[in-house]
Amino acid sequence: MDIRLDAISHSYGDTEVLRDISLDIPAGRIVCLVGPSGCGKSTLLRLTGGLERPDAGRVLQLGTPPANSLNPLTFVFQDFALLPWRSVRGNISLVLEDHGIRGRDADAIISDVLARTKLSDFADALPRQLSGGMKQRVAIARALAVNPAVMLMDEPLSALDSQTRELLMDDLVALWTRQPFTSVYVTHNLAEAVRLGHKIVVLSRRPGQICEVVDIDKPLDQRGYADPDLETVQKHLWTLMRDEARAADAELLNV
Ligand SMILES: Nc1ncnc2c1ncn2[C@@H]1O[C@H](COP(=O)(O)OP(=O)(O)OP(=O)(O)O)[C@@H](O)[C@H]1O
């Protein structure tokens, strides 16, 4: 299933947040949204996922989600949102229970997503026993368990230290390479965007408008740490963003 954003605009009261955003999110691709603080990235993600309705424009779902998709548009947040009293397995089974899936059917799905996220040995651990990186893996496993058509990821690695972030990026690349998923991925971090994005959408400062869409053809599993090709793209992205970020920063100080 593809998603098409068609001329989306949105305001909160007098604050115009997004203006005339049109964008295609093709199935099997990771589309990264970058832009200065407060430009409306998370708002665009929420509108895409149907948590809010845009003031103008449409979010179109083109094609049908996978037949066994329990929740076609599934969010992954920065703060993991795990239930502390439930084990890893219990946190994942919860979303399946919500859809009436229990017993052997649930076990098969849980084993599959635990294996895909390298968590099989931690099924019975409680969240407090896990590092931040492992908690985010659980959140990703939980999202995969509902077989989403699109994963809407809001700064999923931002709460992690830089080494853990690198490890998780490798994991996401491995996960996508084994079985491509579709994602809209919000990040502040341009290194993360060039490592994971097939398409990088640069938004201006608020009201967020699309400045440029950069496609990166290099396969994800061939993009390494400190890859010179990616550094060139990253510099280009930063050139696009620098003035906008500076202006956004000054605006925040004037509030
Ligand atoms: N529910 C809301 N009610 C009122 N204003 C909101 C609401 N959600 C977001 N905003 C405002 O909309 C603007 C865009 O916020 P949003 O969180 O989408 O930006 P962002 O680009 O994701 O920011 P950041 O990079 O800092 O996370 C901000 O000025 C924010 O204060």
Q: Say what angle helices 132-145 and 162-178 make with each other, to 10 degrees.
A: 20
Residue 102 · residue 96 · CB < 8 Å: yes
Give the CATH number, domain containing residue 236.
3.40.50.300
User: Does residue 22 register a pLDDT over 60?
Assistant: yes
Answer yes or no: is 72 within a domain: no
* Residue 175 belongs to domain spanning: 2-65+149-254
Answer yes or no: is 230 within a domain: yes
35 and 134 within one domain:
no
Name every residue whose Cβ is closer than 8 Å to that of residue 246 and which is 6 or more positions away in sequence. Answer: none
User: Does residue 55 register a pLDDT over 70?
Assistant: yes
The order of strands in the sheet holding 183-186 is: 73-76, 150-154, 183-186, 30-34, 199-203, 210-215
Tally of CB atoms within 10 A around 224: 11
Does ligand 1 have an atom closer than 6 angstroms to the CB of 38? yes
170 and 139 within one domain:
no
Q: Which of 94, 119, 148 is the last residue of a domain?
A: 148
176 and 245 within one domain:
yes
- The burial class, CB within 10 Å (0-12 / 13-18 / 19+), for 139 is buried
- DSSP line for 209-229: -EEEEEE--S-GGG--TT-HH
4: amino acid identity, one letter: R
The pLDDT tens digits of the residues spanning 188-200 come to 999 999 999 999 9
Does ligand 1 have an atom closer than 6 angstroms to the CB of 43? yes
143 and 159 within one domain:
no
| DSSP 8-state class, residue 79 | T
Closest ligand 1 atom to residue 45 Cα is 18
Does ligand 1 have an atom closer than 6 angstroms to the CB of 12? yes
Does ligand 1 have an atom closer than 6 angstroms to the CB of 207? no
250 and 170 within one domain:
yes
187 and 131 within one domain:
no
Does ligand 1 have an atom closer than 6 angstroms to the CB of 78? no
| CA dist 159 → 82, 90, 162 (Å) | 14, 23, 9
Answer yes or no: is 70 within a domain: no
187 and 224 within one domain:
yes
Q: Region 13-40: what's the mean pLDDT?
A: 96
222 and 181 within one domain:
yes
58 and 8 within one domain:
yes
Q: Say what angle helices 103-116 and 132-145 make with each other, to 10 degrees.
A: 130
Complex prediction ipTM: 0.97
180 and 244 within one domain:
yes
Q: Whose CA is nearest to atom 31 of ligand 1?
A: 38
- Give me the pLDDT at residue 68, please: 85
pLDDT: which is higher, 18 or 64? 18
Instruction: Provide the number of structural domains found in the chain.
Output: 2
207 and 184 within one domain:
yes
User: Does residue 253 register a pLDDT over 90?
Assistant: no
